[in-house]
Structure 1
Amino acid sequence: MTYLYAFLIGGGICVIGQILMDATKLTAPRVLVILVTAGALLQAFHLYEPLVNLAQTGARVPLPGFGYSLAKGAMEGAKENLLEAVTGGIKAAAGGITVAIGWGYLIALVFNPKSVR
């Protein structure tokens, strides 16, 4: 059942993003920001945690999961002191950020991307 929930929740999040791009004039970067912000806001109200508990990776991997990680890290850091509230989100999401930058660099080296004009 875990795989089914991961597929349905993760797929549903992706469908929402695709609908936002197709049905509105929003560009892909704006949709990305909306989804990350939505994840952070839902976590601020403790609404995203149940999705993570149900779908696990299906809710953590899509973009709202990044916002969730940032917000959760900041909320946990705020329990300690003000500086941890600021740096807690980055610490919580550091693994994902590192992998994204590393793979992006490697793919850019291998495939030699060109600008589209």
Structure 2
Amino acid sequence: MKERRVKAMDFVKAFVCGGLICVLTQILMEKTKLMPGRIMVILVTTGVVLGAVGIYEPFVKFAGAGATVPLTGFGNVLWKGMKKAIDEQGFLGLFTGGFTSCAVGVSAALIFGFIASLIFEPKMKKE
């Protein structure tokens, strides 16, 4: 297996690309009255759609962690898991693929989200 050297430019690309995703998300949060949960769903769905049409994977190769860490990257992982499961199991893979590919991420999000809700006081966005 060929080992790839990490270069400083890889960090810059990840920072800029991940930062742009965050900036666009922040603009969406500030300029709309969408609740954070709906914005999260939009991000994950965007990752699924971009993965399905073949745009997200080249973006991941270019941006590295800047593309895989945000929620759009989570959506892309869901897509890849579903695609693999559909190829192996047929129609049933549509329902199982996302769970098997993202089980660790979903479990961590649930556990840490619950812990955060115990530590901090969750509030709804004022209109």
TM-score by length of 1: 0.87
Alignment RMSD (CA, Å): 1.7
Aligned positions of 1:31-70 closer than 5 A: 31-70=39-78
Q: Provide structure 2 residue ranges, at least 5 long, that are not aligned to the other structure.
A: 1-8
How many residue pairs were aligned? 115
Superposition map of 1:1-117 within 5 A: 1-81=9-89, 82-109=91-118, 111=119, 113-114=120-121, 116=123
Contiguous gaps of at least 5 residues in structure 1? none
Q: Within 1, Cα distance between the matches of 2:24 and 2:11?
A: 20
What do residues 55-105 of structure 1 show as CA deviations (whole Å, max 9, x unaligned)? Answer: 122111111111111111101111112222321111111111122122233
Residues in 2 aligned to 1:108 and 1:32: alpha-carbon distance in whole angstroms: 17
TM-score (norm 2): 0.80
Q: Report the CA distance shift for 1:69/1:7 in structure 2 as closer, same or farther (over 3 A).
A: same
Q: CA deviation at 1:116?
A: 4.0
Per-residue deviation, 1:115: 5.0
Identity over the aligned pairs, expressed in percent?
43
